[in-house]
Amino acid sequence: MSSQVTLTLNPAFRVAPVRRRTFGAFVEHLGRCVYTGIYEPDHPAADEDGFRSDVLALTRELGVSSVRYPGGNFVSGYRWEDGIGPVEDRPARHDLAWHSTEPNTVGLDEFMAWARKAEVEPMYAVNLGTRGIEEALDVLQYANAPQGIALADERAANGNPEPHGIRMWCLGNEMDGPWQTGHKTAEEYARLATETARAMRQEDPDLELVACGSSNSSMETFGAWENTVLTDSYDFVDMISAHAYYAERDDDQASFLASADDMDHFIDSVVATADHVRAKLKKDKRIMISFDEWNVWYQHRAESRPPSGDDWPVAPVLLEDVYSAQDAVVFGNLLISLLRHSDRVASASLAQLVNVIAPIMTEPGGASWKQTTFHPFALTSRHARGEVLDVRLDAPTFDNARFGTSSAADAVATWDEEAGELAVFVVNRSNQEELALDADLASFGELELVEALTLHHEDPYAANTKDAPETVVPQANDSLRLEAGRLTGALPAISWSLVRLARRAA
């Protein structure tokens, strides 16, 4: 007999509106994300600008809302002006972050052309590692200023007479990390970020600016870093960043399945620190979170080790994790956490989009295919609409080394009252036991079951490949039934499910 997970939902249990920016992604000049990822002019599917049309189509199918660019660690040594003007005149540079050579064939203007085709909002990061205020103002004016000043006229001469209109800007990347080119103390970064933000707002007061938070919650300076940075910059920034990656380590499957517990705690801790600074400074404004790097990433694997010595290749194979069914379940659970915190997570970016720890994979000159993680992202982006609801959940627990005790299930729901559509996202995090779902939906009135999909595989380590791209895909869950306002059915061990319901037509 299965253990039971009970969900109680009510349209009054509202957290916040669903934010489209929750479904952002990340394109960094790292490995094959750009070259042979989004851009491959010699590919049979390349368009007139050299972009892979198959990747563009998959990006739109994935439901990506915004894309952070050009880094990542890469940005802390990047000279943005290397990537503009005639391609034949652009210099190649060593990228210290990933020990690679950057040819600068793709730069700001090319990225913006791609973003328009992909139908995504751009999010641009400035270099506060080796550069500072002047360079941030230069790239802002090049990107956004109307013609009539030197840099805007240069953009027009390069084929873009109209401003790009980039609204979201990141003030550097992971500046607390000693691995970062130009790493800074909290005091050093706070001063530079504040003065850069102040200057950028003199150019355009309506920008949305993101200060660097801690690179991860295990940093020794976590919490204190956010406090120092926000104390200085509070009046000039809108968001503070959060980054988190998860992987199964030391054969500790149970802790990995509970990874969203850590994301929940991370978000709650950053919110507490931001609100402490708000109270200390007696401010009305609330600082939001940009969770602009998150994913499953196996950093210990050989694919994550950059080249070394005299080897400085262009677009090497780097961070090309192959994701399993279990990875997709954890990934879907991380999306549940982000949605659950929609009151404070204003933006998020899945790191990354193509080839590099990505839901989309490509073969140079050849095929593209969907990793297992593609599916929970695409389905959540497509069907999460209206208001995020706080789901009350009662489920059995399981023990794990990292978190002690965790719930065997996790869930969130969204309710589009105008359309009369309810979407329930639920995971079974038990690695052994099927769960019997019992969800009370009576408060929504007369509903009908539209669709029930479950991502699960008998082998949790099964993966999709170029030759077998549909090994792990969501399947119809025919066990789920809706009767008298109660949704019941079976959730297999290590599974992610989407249940769609709609108001019954009169």
In terms of Cα–Cα distance, which of 401, 258, 267 is closest to 330?
258
Tokens linked to 3: 């253990």
Spell out the SS3 assignment of 113-133. Answer: HHHHHHCCEEEEEECCCCCCH
Q: Say how far apart CA 173 and CA 183 lie, in whole Å.
A: 10
Cβ contact 320:354 at 8 Å: no
Q: Say how far apart CA 290 and CA 349 lie, in whole Å.
A: 8
What is residue 325's three-state secondary structure?
helix
Tokens linked to 273: 């620190």
Pairing of strands 435-440, 3-8: parallel
Peptide bond into 352 cis (omega under 30): yes
Tokens linked to 240: 């503070």
For the stretch 20-47, what's the b/e string if a residue is b when 16 or more beta carbons lie within 10 angstroms of its beta carbon? bbbbbbbbbbbbbbbbbbbbbeebebbe
Q: Say how far apart CA 139 and CA 80 lie, in whole Å.
A: 7
Q: How many CB atoms neighbour CB 232 within 10 A?
A: 21
Residues assigned a catalytic role = 174, 293
Give the phi and the psi of residue 122 in degrees, each rounded to 5.
Answer: -80, 150
Q: How many CB atoms neighbour CB 178 within 10 A?
A: 8
In terms of Cα–Cα distance, which of 200, 96, 85 is closest to 151?
85
Q: What is the DSSP letter of 51?
A: B
Residue 50, CA atoms < 13 Å, CB-side half-sphere: 15
Cβ contact 443:481 at 8 Å: no
- Non-local (6+) Cβ contacts of 439 within 8 A are 6, 7, 8, 9, 424, 486, 487, 488
Spell out the SS3 assignment of 10-23. Answer: CCCCEEEECCHHHH
Q: Say how far apart CA 211 and CA 197 lie, in whole Å.
A: 9
For the stretch 297-322, what's the b/e string if a residue is b when 16 or more beta carbons lie within 10 angstroms of its beta carbon? bbeeeeebebeeeeebeebbebbbbe
